[in-house]
Chains A and B, each alone.
Chain A
Amino acid sequence: MGGTLLASVSAASASGFQVNLGGQKNIGMGGVGVGLSLDQAAMFYNPGALAMVRDNGVQVGVNAALARSSFRGDNTGIQQSLDNKLVVPFNFYAGFGPKDAKYKFGVAVYTPYGSTLKYADGWEGRYALTEITLQSVYVQPTASYAITPTLSVGAGLMILAYGSVNLQKDLPLPTGPGHITLDGKTKTQFGYNAGIFFKPSDKLSVGISYRSKIDATVDNGSVTYSGLPATGSASAALINRSFTATSFTATLPLPAVASIGIGVMPNEQLTIGLDASLTFWSAYRTLDFGFSGNNGNGTTDGLVGGNNFSTSKRFYQDALAFRLGGQYKVDDKLTVRLGTAYDFSAVKDGYVGPETPDADRVQATAGLSYLVTEHFGVDASFLFEAFRQRTQTQGQLLDNGTTDRVAGTYRTDIFIPGVGLHYKF
């Protein structure tokens, strides 16, 4: 239950396993927002813009991310379809300030990183990964202050309030395939989100923002197995003594993001935003697991496959993204939106793995808002994202020492319909 409700999108709408679904209005505009002060979602995109948001308000948005992925192995050439998982990233904001005051406070809850993938049973890469769920929920108290009528700053305390990881793969045992599950919750961690917003005229605004890195650390995750030889069978003693670990530690960086954005408002009806952002994925160098505990399978503690640690190369690269979007106010009640974005992959050639089958991506988005009353409105958005087909050969894996993953071709499309409600006062 918590799984589905709190889950983040399948590595949707940004590079790596980043999720750029901060607000329903922004989603409809290609994900722009750093150079705009549209609504309370400024707390996510650029806290500096919050003080420039005219109204107080509460808003919530929910997205249904439907990822459709396929894989074709380097050998065999059979196309495998991933299970169709539905995940539901969400966002919630509440922003308040005295009327005509220079400052504003707020709280934001959002899901900036996550991934959910489940590969077909018995697929070629089963010994690398069968299933992954990564979730993160940030809670962010935020304050913003307008130094002058054209310049405001803001900052938020990012709290990794909830994070979880569940990784599963098959084990190539000589008695037949076994299975291992690593499951854990992250410790609460802190970071910050800060921004500056400058609006020299009614027709132009500029913003920069920075979200810091948070290391998601799992300290005492559980290690469980299935498919090991039954106790008492001929090979049980020989094989099972290499699988004694009951718990693991691991750290996954949720990297920093620096963004710059421009807003252009040629007239009362039209708003155009252009963002560029850089996600500092190079912080993700290796994925290391340390194992400990003893389930009684053998005399040596903390073994998984005979080792008490594992390390896997990531060596991600910093990833740029460009976003462009606009909205047009048709009348007092209806606003429509369009946008597009291009995300460069965080994963270098030779390093693509099934847990993040990343590739350069192109997005097309649309959205609308309808004001039911003066205070209450509905926002709808739709995002389509196509990953560029990406192939990785066994030769590339060998060259990079990354043969712990599988050679082949990945392709993913993601469809994300979303809906939000907002109340202004």
Chain B
Amino acid sequence: MKFFIKCTAPVVGLLGLGLAGCQPDIDAPKVSAGSADFSSYIAIGNSLTAGYSDGGLYREGQLNSYPNILSQQFAQVGGGSFVQPLFTEAQSNGSGYLKLTGFTATGSPVTANVTTSLALRGGTAAAPLYTKFTDPINNLGVPGIRMSDILTPGYGSVAGNPYFERITLDTTPLQTYLQRVQATVASLKPTFFTEWLGNNDVLGYATAGGAASSLTPVATFTTNTGLVLDALVAGGAKGVVSTIPDVTGIPFFTTVGPSFKATLVANSVPGVVALTGAAAGNAASGNRKSIATADIRDASGGRQLFTLTSSAFLGLLGRPTGAPWRYLLAQANQPRAALGPYLTSFGIDTTQAFGATVGNPIPSAFVLDDVEQGLVASATASFNSALTTAATSRNLAIFDANAFFRNVAANGYVANAANNTAGYLSGNLFGLDGVHPTPRGYAVVANEILKVINAKYGSSFQGVNANLYRGVVFP
């Protein structure tokens, strides 16, 4: 009634000329903490927690990490400062990353490595050392770390993980990740945490097409999960534990296969030959695998997945070439001289038709085949079961990232009338490496975690407008 009088009186008098200030107000939603305390928040995890994107860790990605977005929401209910090991403005490109520079005539993306304003302080191209950040930090996300790494002494040494090395104090050079978490809990006394470890315990094996790395034993994963969560709840903190997404739904595996399949079908090629697994041996050793064209996964079906890294070489199908092998050797930081013995050990003859013969098969590293997928799926399920059990027994909230990203892969994700998908480049959610989210993807993750927090702790956080966070920006 007050409103009516306030706003209509001038209307009657001035026929509306005095109305400019009379916008109806919608009460602001109340943001409350519920039963949790967000005054001191720490984030534990890997590249996803660090804000890694486009194949690198750089300042923009760090600023848009999901923990940083969460901390901005927590600040509305008394959340304190949230320190991340940010690269400086002058070294804002951090480790370097992939940048989209254009497209080929056929619409394929052209990327380049960003090599300016890096945060390098030494080391080699294969084992770089980054500018140290030794202030106390709330975001302990370390790109590359596996659950199986958290007890490894020296993981933060110059011979270890450069991202952990970067934040490891000179006074405790051999400190393990778990010890760092324990020390942080003791000093920052967190009241709330997020934990998202374990992705690399399957991802490394999967992105290597089963040709390198390994899947962490379930027993190790389960033990370490218990250790890290015990460390986190030691001071009575509440928190969210995230599960591990199905890695076969990410663009790294879903982008190349469908177009390759279409090319094979168009040229009436019935199938290709690939290596499988990591074991050396010639064609008679049983490590060759015939893949029928129809068995390559696309929207219509099929099982076999091709990696994003294979896209540059699949065009060489049927031609004599050693290029894929030279590329993989360089990726593994092996000298050129190692090529001959390597090829011999696998019985590979680069004068034969690539991908069409057992003599020159598609490298195992380019294919995550059905058998390898089965191992990845089984490990993922076991790890998620361990995470869920450990979180439930400690009465923690669970963000089921596996279910969430499975749904995104199947149905996309619409926010404020803008479509997002799990597709490469134009899907907005995944960056140029095909594995890590874009700022948009991280914003969506943050929104989902906020929903989980609201449900578990009776808090009432709003999300952020995901559309204000970029996807892959085209030049």
Binding site for B on A (CB under 8 A): 64, 66, 68-77, 79, 81, 84, 124-128, 172-176, 229, 233-235, 237-239, 382, 384, 386, 389, 394, 397-398, 403-407, 409-413, 415, 417
25 interchain pairs (CB within 8 A)?
A64-B16, A68-B23, A69-B24, A70-B23, A73-B465, A74-B462, A74-B463, A76-B463, A77-B31, A79-B28, A81-B23, A125-B416, A172-B467, A173-B474, A175-B475, A229-B474, A234-B101, A234-B474, A235-B102, A235-B475, A384-B8, A389-B26, A413-B7, A415-B7, A415-B16
Beyond known contacts A175-B473, A384-B4: 4 more, CB 8 A cutoff: A79-B25, A403-B414, A407-B416, A417-B11
User: Which residues of chain A are near B11, meaning CB under 8 Å?
Assistant: 382, 415, 417
Q: Is the interface of A mostly helix, strand, loop or mixed?
A: mixed
In the complex, what distance in Å separates the CA atom of A398 from the CA atom of B425?
24
Tell me if B312 is interfacial: C-beta within 8 Å of chain A: no
In the complex, what distance in Å separates the CA atom of A410 from the CA atom of B464?
18
Instruction: Considering the complex, give the chain B residue whose CB is closest to the CB of A409.
Output: B26
Instruction: Considering the complex, give the chain B residue whose CB is closest to the CB of A412.
Output: B24
User: Which residues of chain A are near B463, meaning CB under 8 Å?
Assistant: 74-76
Tell me if B341 is interfacial: C-beta within 8 Å of chain A: no
User: Which residues of chain B are near A73, meaning CB under 8 Å?
Assistant: 416, 465
**Whole-angstrom distance from the CB of A122 to the nearest CB of chain B?**
9
Contact of B417 among A64, A125, A238 (CB under 8 A): A125
User: Which residues of chain A are near B4, meaning CB under 8 Å?
Assistant: 384
User: Which residues of chain B are near A410, meaning CB under 8 Å?
Assistant: 26
A233 engages B416 (CB within 8 Å)? no
In the complex, what distance in Å separates the CA atom of A212 from the CA atom of B417?
34
Contact of A238 among B19, B23, B24, B103 (CB under 8 A): B103
**Whole-angstrom distance from the CB of B236 to the nearest CB of chain A?**
30
B28 engages A77 (CB within 8 Å)? yes
Which 10 residue pairs are nearest across A and B when measured between Cβ atoms? A128-B417, A403-B414, A234-B102, A235-B474, A75-B463, A174-B474, A234-B475, A127-B417, A172-B418, A72-B26
A234 engages B103 (CB within 8 Å)? yes
B24 engages A406 (CB within 8 Å)? no
Instruction: Considering the complex, give the chain B residue whose CB is closest to the CB of A364.
Output: B4
Instruction: Considering the complex, give the chain A residue whose CB is closest to the CB of B14.
Output: A417
Total number of B residues with any Cβ neighbor in A under 8 Å: 42
Tell me if B284 is interfacial: C-beta within 8 Å of chain A: no
Instruction: Considering the complex, give the chain B residue whose CB is closest to the CB of A175.
Output: B474
**Whole-angstrom distance from the CB of A366 to the nearest CB of chain B?**
9
Q: CB-CB contacts of B360-389 with A at 8 A, as 1s and 0s?
A: 000000000000000000000000000000
Give residues 418-441 of B contacting A (CB, 8 Å): 418-419, 425-426, 428
A68 engages B474 (CB within 8 Å)? no
In the complex, what distance in Å separates the CA atom of A79 from the CA atom of B26?
7
Q: CB-CB contacts of B451-475 with A at 8 A, as 1s and 0s?
A: 0000000000011111100011111
Tell me if B332 is interfacial: C-beta within 8 Å of chain A: no
B8 engages A76 (CB within 8 Å)? no
Most buried by A among B8, B11, B416, B419: B416
In the complex, what distance in Å separates the CA atom of A5 from the CA atom of B427?
44
B417 engages A174 (CB within 8 Å)? no
User: Which residues of chain A are near B426, meaning CB under 8 Å?
Assistant: 174
Instruction: Considering the complex, give the chain B residue whose CB is closest to the CB of A415.
Output: B11
Tell me if B340 is interfacial: C-beta within 8 Å of chain A: no
User: Which residues of chain B are near A124, meaning CB under 8 Å?
Assistant: 416, 465, 467
**Whole-angstrom distance from the CB of A289 to the nearest CB of chain B?**
15
Tell me if B266 is interfacial: C-beta within 8 Å of chain A: no
A403 engages B417 (CB within 8 Å)? yes
User: Which residues of chain A are near B472, meaning CB under 8 Å?
Assistant: 174
User: Which residues of chain B are near A69, meaning CB under 8 Å?
Assistant: 23-24
A64 engages B15 (CB within 8 Å)? yes
Instruction: Considering the complex, give the chain B residue whose CB is closest to the CB of A172.
Output: B418
B462 engages A75 (CB within 8 Å)? yes
**Whole-angstrom distance from the CB of B464 to the nearest CB of chain A?**
6
**Whole-angstrom distance from the CB of A391 to the nearest CB of chain B?**
9
In the complex, what distance in Å separates the CA atom of A125 from the CA atom of B102?
30
Tell me if B301 is interfacial: C-beta within 8 Å of chain A: no
B464 engages A76 (CB within 8 Å)? yes
Tell me if B447 is interfacial: C-beta within 8 Å of chain A: yes
User: Which residues of chain B are near A389, meaning CB under 8 Å?
Assistant: 26
In the complex, what distance in Å separates the CA atom of A406 from the CA atom of B414?
10
Tell me if B22 is interfacial: C-beta within 8 Å of chain A: yes
In the complex, what distance in Å separates the CA atom of A235 from the CA atom of B416?
25
Instruction: Considering the complex, give the chain B residue whose CB is closest to the CB of A413.
Output: B24
A70 engages B24 (CB within 8 Å)? yes
**Whole-angstrom distance from the CB of A312 to the nearest CB of chain B?**
10
Q: CB-CB contacts of B388-423 with A at 8 A, as 1s and 0s?
A: 000000000000000000000000001111110000
Tell me if B20 is interfacial: C-beta within 8 Å of chain A: yes
